Each structure stands twice: as C-alpha cells, then as structure tokens.
C-alpha cells in the first residue's frame, strides 16, 4: 500500500513538474526584461556581434532585451553573475571562448564552468590572422625556419598571457616546434602598429581590425588560426593547411544560461537565436564584422564547449600559463 502510494505521489509530482515547465515555457518571456550579460566592453567584437543578433531576437519574441556589459577579471565577473542567477531564462551570458580557458587561468572561481553554466548556442567565430611586417617573411614556414635557426630571436605581439593571440601563437609553436618571445600590448591597435613598423615579427589578431592595413599592404597575412579560412581573406590558408597538424585555435562567441534553467525555456532560446542567425540580413551584417557561422545543435555546442575546456588544460600547461 505504501509502495503504491509512493509511486502515485512520484507520478503526481512528476506530472506537476512537467506542467510547471510547460507553463514556464508558455509564459516566457513575460514577467520582465531579459538581460544579456556581455563579458567585454561596449564596441568590442563580442559586444557588437551580440547586439546584432539580439536586436533581431527581441523583435521575434516581442520583448525588450537589455545588454549589460560586465567586463573585468577576464570575463569571469559576468560569468559568475549568470552562473548564480535565478535559472528562469531572464539572464543570459554572452561570452567568448575565454570561458573555456578561465578554469586554468584563475586559481579560484566562484562557479564551476561546466556544472553551473549551460551552453545554448554559438553566435559564430572571429578568425585570428597571423600578420607579419611587409616583406619580412614569404610564408609561415619561413617564420618557423628563422625561429629554429636562432632560438629566442623572434618576437610576437599579444594582448597578454592567456589572450587568444597568445594561445593561437602557442598552439602553432607547439605544433611546429619553435619558440618566440611574447610582447604584450594593451590593445590590438598598438600591436598592429608595431607589426607594421617591424618591431615585432608576428601577431595573431582578429581580421577586422587588421583589414585596412592588409589592404594597404603595410602588413602581410600568412595564415589564420581557425579551423576554416576567413571569408574576408579567402586566399589565406589555415595553419593546418600550411602543414602544421593540431595547430588550430578558434576564437568563438557563445550564449549560456544558468544550468538549472528549465528545458522548455532552453529549447525556445536555442530556437529563437538560431532563427535570427539564419536570416540573410543578420548573416550579412555578421559577415561584415568578420564573424564566421557556427551552425550547431545544442548537443553539438555542448560537446564542442566541453572539448574546448579539456583541450585548454593541455595548452595552458604547455604554454606555462600560471593561474592568477
């Protein structure tokens, strides 16, 4: 009798949970504005890309979406805010691939990256291109040969330890078997100027900030670090195409929510964002920003994200990056 009563209660409770989730999905988004926490400054590639997509999502769902920039601590301030937020679909996280790196560059985090945050959908990837002073090298193989011939003689620009430019350079150097001296800069503009002036030998940076200097032939693009070529520089090969296996490093932008967010809300969020990303006008606007499509299901993005976390553990160790 007790067993039958317990089973009946379990079925009843389970039914109520299902009805509750369905009600949440039907009501969402009704009770308040949706906030998207952006882990970078206004005007950055991450910020602009996110705004382009969510302007369209806002129209689709008929609800105001407020962008809230929370830079600082390599993006972990914004990540922590969403990880600890009420899991109701009203606070989203827009961040870069730095989210998969944070567990290894910080001694402690106020959240667990893969346990407390749920991957929803990627917005796309921003291709990093390897740039060199005009006329100095004909190919990436020339850089590798020069670095091996005289160890420690080559230098490269980055935005500091743990930045995408640093990790792209380290991934290539590990594959090719060479070492170069890292020269940190505050911003991409300063790094580009030093490459153009010939004060550093190479720099991995997103295509868009560098495009004008490339077109003016003040700097030369040799390879891109991404797994696919850039639509803005279609003639520039990837590092793998140049002959260096396991040398790719993708810089991507993704949307996350608190892990306990009900499934119906997560499903709708994923569907609405992918619907926006599929529109020709949105694809065109993102393409002009140098954003390459990453069309993935939720399961695919979740697996991709977790694989990135695992791969970064090896890369950080090989690059001797110490947690701060």
Digit-by-digit pLDDT tens for the chain (324 residues) are: 444 434 343 444 444 444 445 555 567 888 678 999 999 888 888 999 999 999 999 999 999 999 999 988 878 999 999 999 999 999 999 999 989 999 998 889 999 999 999 999 999 999 999 999 999 999 999 999 999 999 999 999 998 777 888 889 999 999 999 999 999 888 888 999 999 999 999 999 989 889 999 999 999 999 999 999 999 999 999 999 999 999 999 999 999 999 999 999 999 999 999 999 999 999 999 999 999 999 999 999 999 999 999 989 988 887 778 887
Looking at the fold, whether 137 and 80 belong to one and the same domain comes out as: no
pLDDT given for residue 33 in this prediction: 87
pLDDT given for residue 182 in this prediction: 92
Looking at the fold, whether 286 and 145 belong to one and the same domain comes out as: no
Residue 37 lies in a domain: yes
Looking at the fold, whether 66 and 109 belong to one and the same domain comes out as: yes
Domain region containing 302? 24-125+251-318
Residue 323 lies in a domain: no
Looking at the fold, whether 256 and 121 belong to one and the same domain comes out as: yes
Residue 174 lies in a domain: yes
Q: What b-and-e string marks burial along 142-153, b requiring 16 or more CB atoms within 10 Å of the CB? A: ebbebbeeeeee
Listed in order, strand segments (DSSP E) in the chain are: 34-38, 65-69, 91-96, 117-126, 128-133, 155-158, 181-184, 202-206, 219-224, 252-258, 291-292
Which candidate, 172, 173, 219, places its Cα nearest to that of 200? Answer: 219
Looking at the fold, whether 71 and 102 belong to one and the same domain comes out as: yes
pLDDT given for residue 68 in this prediction: 96
Residue 246 lies in a domain: no
Number of structural domains, the chain?
2
Looking at the fold, whether 28 and 99 belong to one and the same domain comes out as: yes
pLDDT given for residue 202 in this prediction: 98
Looking at the fold, whether 69 and 216 belong to one and the same domain comes out as: no
Looking at the fold, whether 121 and 147 belong to one and the same domain comes out as: no
- CA dist list (Å): 263 to 20, 29, 234: 11, 14, 39
* Spatial distance between the Cα atoms of 223 and 226, rounded to a whole number of angstroms: 9
3 state DSSP class of 150? coil
The CATH number for 186's domain is 3.40.190.10
pLDDT given for residue 254 in this prediction: 98
Residue linked to tokens 């920039």:
69
Residue 10 lies in a domain: no
**Which of residues 224, 259, 284 is at a domain's end?**
224
**Which of residues 188, 206, 224 is at a domain's end?**
224
pLDDT given for residue 4 in this prediction: 40
Token representation of residue 158: 């980055």
**Which of residues 224, 243, 265 is at a domain's end?**
224
Q: Yes or no: say if 245 and 147 are a contact pair by the CB < 8 Å rule.
A: no
The CATH number for 103's domain is 3.40.190.150
* Spatial distance between the Cα atoms of 194 and 320, rounded to a whole number of angstroms: 25
Looking at the fold, whether 101 and 31 belong to one and the same domain comes out as: yes
Residue 98 lies in a domain: yes
Looking at the fold, whether 213 and 188 belong to one and the same domain comes out as: yes
Residue 245 lies in a domain: no
Looking at the fold, whether 42 and 103 belong to one and the same domain comes out as: yes
Looking at the fold, whether 165 and 120 belong to one and the same domain comes out as: no
Residue 66 lies in a domain: yes
């Amino acid at each position: 009798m007790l067993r039958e009563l317990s089973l009946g209660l379990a079925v009843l409770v389970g039914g109520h949970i299902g009805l509750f989730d369905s009600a949440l999905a039907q009501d969402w988004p009704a009770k308040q504005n949706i906030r998207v926490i952006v882990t970078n400054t206004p005007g950055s590639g991450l910020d602009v890309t996110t705004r382009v997509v969510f302007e369209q999502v806002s129209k689709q769902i008929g609800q105001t979406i407020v962008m809230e920039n929370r830079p600082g601590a390599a993006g972990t301030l914004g990540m922590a805010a969403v990880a600890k937020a009420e899991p109701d679909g009203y606070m989203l996280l827009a961040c870069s691939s730095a989210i998969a790196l944070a567990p290894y560059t910080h001694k402690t985090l106020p959240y667990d990256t893969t346990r407390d945050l749920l991957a929803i959908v990627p917005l796309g990837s921003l291709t990093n291109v390897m740039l060199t002073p005009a006329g100095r090298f004909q190919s990436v193989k020339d850089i590798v040969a020069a670095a091996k011939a005289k160890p420690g003689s080559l230098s490269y620009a980055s935005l500091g330890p743990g930045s995408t430019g640093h990790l792209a350079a380290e991934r290539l150097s590990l594959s090719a078997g060479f070492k170069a001296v890292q020269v940190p800069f505050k911003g991409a503009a300063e790094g580009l100027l030093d490459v153009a002036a010939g004060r550093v030998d190479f720099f991995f940076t997103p295509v868009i900030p560098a495009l004008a200097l490339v077109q003016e032939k003040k700097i030369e693009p040799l390879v891109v670090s991404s797994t696919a070529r850039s639509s803005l520089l279609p003639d520039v090969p990837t590092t793998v195409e140049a002959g260096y296996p396991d040398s790719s490093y993708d810089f991507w932008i993704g949307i996350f929510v608190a892990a306990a967010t009900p499934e119906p809300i997560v499903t709708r969020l994923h569907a609405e964002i992918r619907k926006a990303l599929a529109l020709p006008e949105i694809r065109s606007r993102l393409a002009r920003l140098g954003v390459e499509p990453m069309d993935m299901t939720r399961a695919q993005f979740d697996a991709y994200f977790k694989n990135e976390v695992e791969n970064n553990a090896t890369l950080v160790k090989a690059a001797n990056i110490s947690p701060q």
